[in-house]
Structure 1
Amino acid sequence: MDCACGHHHAPTADPSGTPLAMANPPIALHGRLICADMAQLMTALELLPDHVAASRAEPGCLRFDIAQSDDPMVWTLSEVFADSAAFAAHQARTAASPWGKRSQALTRDFHRHEAQPRIRPATQADAASLSALLPAGTTPLPALIAHVEGVAVAHLSPSGVATIHPALQNRGIAEALQDHAAP
């Protein structure tokens, strides 16, 4: 969807699949950021672009989407981090940032939870997420993927080559994909 922040936000991908248990699962945060007045809205409009860019650049960030809702004073957000340590690092960076220091008066209505990766065949709806994960020139379909709340974090090609998000490597995902693909 297009929003007042000037970005196109991709539709949510297929959330289905076989659950993959992890000892240290990804952390997801969903909710709303609410501006009480025009001054708060102007603060959000001024600072959010840099905050979003810095958040997306964090090594443990799997997804960081924020968009204005139909009510321009309300922003919806969806964040996914590799694990609780990555989420804690995000919170520490945020607290020290201009966004963290100047947006404290905005109302935050967030829900934090552990997110379980899931394994399923890739679909065309995964194309954008896969393009961020795979090396240039890699054909994303057909494939088996692991995703966290619709964000592709691992890809298993028909030839058996696995590509895993750097923040989730060595955590059993490649093996789980290969086991799932075995006849």
Structure 2
Amino acid sequence: MSKSKKLYNLVHVEPENYIYFVDNHRYGLTFSLKERTNSSGNSVAIIQMNGSSAGWNKERKDWNSDSTIGKVLCWCKEHGYETVHFLNLWSYVDKDPKNLKGKSNSELNKPENDMWIQQVCNSVNDVILAYGNCVEINYVVFEERKREIAQLLKSKKLFHVGDLNGSNNPKHGRAWNGKPKLNEFKEIQTT
């Protein structure tokens, strides 16, 4: 059994706060990894690309996780985070990145997402960028969104896990393999 599945089974994590709106847009998931209810440990916001298969299954009336959520929660627990907020560059939910191809930022992202990003990031100890390359997204759309995020988070110290990828973007959470370290993110690279 993978380490992330063990953690998921061990702590039976379900989101404390699940913000989901109609039209396939999700603004955030918040997980508590606290072992003591009265503890107030470190909190972190993880900004990935877009929401995928993790979420509430209406038919089963149950929460289903995905491997990225499990892997990131495992890393966060090992690094002392007790509250983990999952946010995304784009609020549009689709587990297949190919379905994002050809969409504009206004189709991929609702203004409420930026409000949630600012609100959550202003309330946490650390903000980790983990959006990867987003290869299915039009290059111009991706660069525009990175500029918007840089502007939204200009007052925050930003981090990434492990080395930057070949395009100088932070690795997506699914690529946090081995024992990657937390590194300060100097500047969001846009052209």
Q: What TM-score, normalized by structure 1, do the two folds share?
A: 0.30
Bigger RCO (CA 8 Å, 6+ sep): 1
Select the structure of larger CA radius of gyration: 1
Q: What TM-score, normalized by structure 2, do the two folds share?
A: 0.29
